[in-house]
Amino acid sequence: MEPAQSPVDVDVLVVGAGVTGIYQLYLAREAGFSVLMLEAGTGVGGTWYWNRYPGSRYDSESYTYGYFFSRELFNNWTWPEVFTGQPENERYFNHVVDRFDLRRHIRFNARIVAEDWDERAGSWIVRAEDGMEIRARFVVNATGVLSAPVYPRVPGREDFKGIAHHTGLWPKEPVEFAGKRVAVVGTGSSGVQVIPVIADEVASLTVYQRTPNWCVPLNNRVIPAGEQAEIKADFERIREIVTSNGSGFLHVPHDRTTFEETREQRWAFYETMWRSPGFAKLSTNYTDLLTSRDANAEWCAFLEEKYRSIVKDPATVEKLIPRDHLYAGKRPPYVTGYFETFNKPHVDLVDLRETPMVRVTEKGIEATDGEREFDIIVWATGFDFGTGALLRMGIRGRGGLSLNDYWAEGPMTYLGVMAHGFPNMFFPGGPHGGAGNNPRYNGDQSEFIHGVFEFMRQHHYRTVEVPAEVEKTWNDMVTLYSAKQPFGEKSYFFGANIPGKPKRFLNNPGGRLLMKQMMADTAESEYKGFLS
């Protein structure tokens, strides 16, 4: 007779060695659970491992993006710039896993192809592409929201004989741009980071833009030694602010609305915003920026003026001004020297709304105005946001229920971390997650999940599953607030970039504070109805 209970290999299996997974692994290991992490890549860092294209850089302040679980880690790591680049970010995550001796719990080159809930054993059987099989009591899929890269559905992509890379799958070996004819397709956060960085090296640069974005300066700078010391001395205050506020940033919200001030005052204030670091343009702008169309349009009018003052060719600047959404209608990119790039004589902008792409050829790209030849094509065409990674992993819960079927009309979650029918499985940093400084928001989720593990161990429960009616309260909240948040239905936050994907809001429109409150209530109720 088969044993009723198959032994588990580990208590907690974490999938994905990004910023969220590493923290989850650390929490579980510190608490004495047996742990394992599986990672598809050959190194740690997640987003900061895969997106190693030239110009890849934080747009959250480095010292608020890193971890706060160890004062000693915070003290001993020096962020050289306010917004550090990918190599530095990847170094940080390597430092963390080595400093806390986590690397020995990680298996690399392990791409998951199946996760099956074994009802009888009360555990998950997880299989990797190479045939490795792990049995785990709990599975935490920390696989990220921007980790399933997508290419345009344009014929002939495979025919191109030159070099072609997606920004989200960038190779470790350097790509030689010097003297090459280069195309960049896509002008989201990744495309607008690559473009100015490679522009001076290449023989020619052609930018294929489908939708212009409201790009604003990142305003990166080196952090001088004196300021470094101040930041380190300020650990407790910084941690308190970024772990307790809505955005996860250190930014202090403004105290007035747009039209309380004269036009002259507004323009002076917008100038301050233009010079402010990264997301401060969103989080410290006039308080009605995202709630009043008129207020938002006023900021956009200022931005339009700025663009016109930088870009010399009137036809080019016309194409660079968004007309179909206001600020934050799509995720706003933060740039360094982006608009200036279009003043260089060897840089061209192709507006795909005027001349759509027809096909990729052996030699280049054909649009309706003809074929252009290239040595290199950079596909900066984004990701299957939110659900993409989870729906590529073959996850099957109770009774063989496929997550792809359960989420056929869009994700159904509780707190953006668990789903009914999928016991003992979690996905921090996944769909219905946060907009803001992601590691802080995802960290809340990891701590909630870890609290569940601790409670179950203490009280000898084996299974945790969100009841259907409780899950519904969260999904009703998402539906209700989706209509009130600023991101438009044309953004990837609604899955708009993926043909055929259901149009559902893929973040938590209720915000971080509501999520934290619901987590606290759930824990306080001792997970009533969740445990068996």
- Least Å distance between CB 391 and ligand NA7? 17
Least Å distance, CB 16 to ligand NA7, is 16
Q: Which residue is nearest to ligand NA7 (CB)?
A: 188
> In terms of CB distance, is 186 or 430 closer to ligand NA7?
186
The C-alpha atoms of residue 15 and residue 382 are separated, in whole angstroms, by 22
Nearer to ligand NA7, 135 or 331 (CB): 331
Q: Is 437 exposed, middle or buried (0-12, 13-18, 19+ CB in 10 A)?
A: buried
> 347 Cβ partners below 8 Å, 6+ apart?
199, 204, 205, 206, 207, 341
Read off the tokens for 223: 């952090």
Residue with tokens 């915003």: 273
Summarize as ranges the residues that interact with ligand NA7 (CB under 6 A): 146, 152, 167, 185-191, 210-211, 331, 352, 357, 380-383, 492, 497
What is the nearest approach in angstroms of ligand NA7 to the Cβ of residue 310? 20
Q: Which two tokens stand for residue 292?
A: 């009043």
Output 188 or 486, the one with its CB closest to ligand NA7: 188
Specify the residue, 147 or 522, whose C-beta has the smaller distance to ligand NA7.
147
In the complex, minimum distance from the CB of residue 150 to ligand NA7, in angstroms, rounded to a whole number: 7
CB of 353 to ligand NA7, least distance (A): 9
Our CB check for ligand NA7 shows the closer of 420 and 501 to be: 501
Buried-exposed string 260-298: b where 16+ CB fall within 10 A, e elsewhere: eeeeeebeebbeebeebbbbbbbbbbbbbbbeeeebbeb
State how far the alpha carbon of 77 is from the alpha carbons of 55, 93, 101, 174, 224, in Å: 22, 11, 16, 27, 14
Q: Is there a contact between 364 and 246 (Cβ–Cβ < 8 Å)?
A: no
Q: How far is the CB of 331 from ligand NA7 (least distance, A)?
A: 4
Q: Which is nearer to ligand NA7, 74 or 494 (CB)?
A: 494
| Longest Cα separation, the chain | 83
Query: Least CB distance from residue 322 to ligand NA7, whole Å?
Result: 10
Smallest CA-to-CA distance from 389 within 138, 135, 149, 128 is with 149
* Cβ–Cβ < 8 Å for 328, 316: no
